[in-house]
A = this chain, B = another copy of it.
Amino acid sequence: MKRFTIGVDVGGTNVKMGLVSPQGAILSRAILDTKSFNKNKQKLIDAIVVAILGLISEKRLAAKDILGVGLGLPGPIDAERGMVNFLPNIPGWKNVPLTNILRKKLCLPTFIDNDVNLITLGEWTFGAGRNYRNLMCMTLGTGVGAGLVLNGSLYRGEGFSAGELGHMPLNEQGPACNCGGWGCFERYVGNATLLKKGAQTFGRAIPLPEIYQLARNHDPRALRFWEETGEHIGNALVGVINLLNLRLIVVGGGVANSFRFMHKTIVKTIKARAMKIPAGMVQVVRAQLNDDAGILGAQVLVKGSVRGR
């Protein structure tokens, strides 16, 4: 029976892949170093194909056992036509008809979507967002992204670029952003800004995990660092909450490791600023699936797409 799926989470640093059981367990994994293929899109695609076939044969499965393959990619993806518009952090990808290419090479049903959309599908189906109809899943890292489930289905937007939470302005005047705008949320809580702020706070270059550890040890500067980050996050979420009246906001990504030190100020800011009805019904929780969310979300994409065909 065709019931296993393959999930592929393509990132700027590496490509994480997994064979997923019908119940949503990751049975085996593979990983590729994205940068080693950076100059050659075709070699990266070929390596992904080899790794996918490896995952299948490794478990003595055949093509007929595989329901489909789902890939998440970091950029605007035309999920309907299976087209990668472009990938800001992986050079050489522009208007690539990726599902057509992969279907020919794999002879398997293949579907693609934005990576944060797959993470959102994963958390919604297997993680923190189970049984919710209206939620946002945000990823805090180098960039700040989000996926939206509205009225019980993934909302991709008119041109598949919905969820650019990192580029919601926090202020009418604010620091320039590399998106071309200014005052963007990402310029307050993205990794680059946090590292700079950390260096200023502690008088030396300091990685974020160390600021997390310092907070665990009750260092007041570290605690304040995360509280202030939580306040910016809260300020961004107030707008989303008043506009969309969501039931749940899931916080994931590397920065979410410090969620416990930010949660209180996030909630405090929402209670202080957002309107009573939406503020009273929204919960802000940490993501549950970490790095597996995209691979599991790919199964949701495949199941939904195969059904829908």
Contact = CB atoms under 8 A, between A and B. Distances in A.
Interface stretch (A166-174, A214-222, A258-266): A166-174
Contacts of A134: 157-158
Interface in A262-304: 272-278, 281-282
Nearest to A133: B158
A28 interface: no
Contacts of A172: 170-171, 232, 235
A76 interface: yes
Given A244-B157, A277-B76, A239 B239 contact: yes
A163 B243 contact: yes
Contacts of A162: 243-245, 278
Interface string A215-243: 00000000000000000100100111011
Interface stretch (A47-55, A59-67, A119-127, A147-155): A147-155
A245 B278 contact: no
A215 to B, nearest CB: 23
Nearest to A135: B158
A277 B148 CA distance: 18
B278 A164 contact: yes
Copies of the chain in the assembly: 2
B278 A157 contact: yes
A182 interface: yes
Contact of A245 (B161, B181, B239): B161
Contacts of A171: 170-172
Interface in A96-150: 133-134, 146, 148, 150
A160 interface: yes
Interface of A: 76, 85, 133-134, 146, 148, 150-151, 153, 155-165, 167-172, 179-182, 232, 235, 238-240, 242-247, 272-278, 281-282
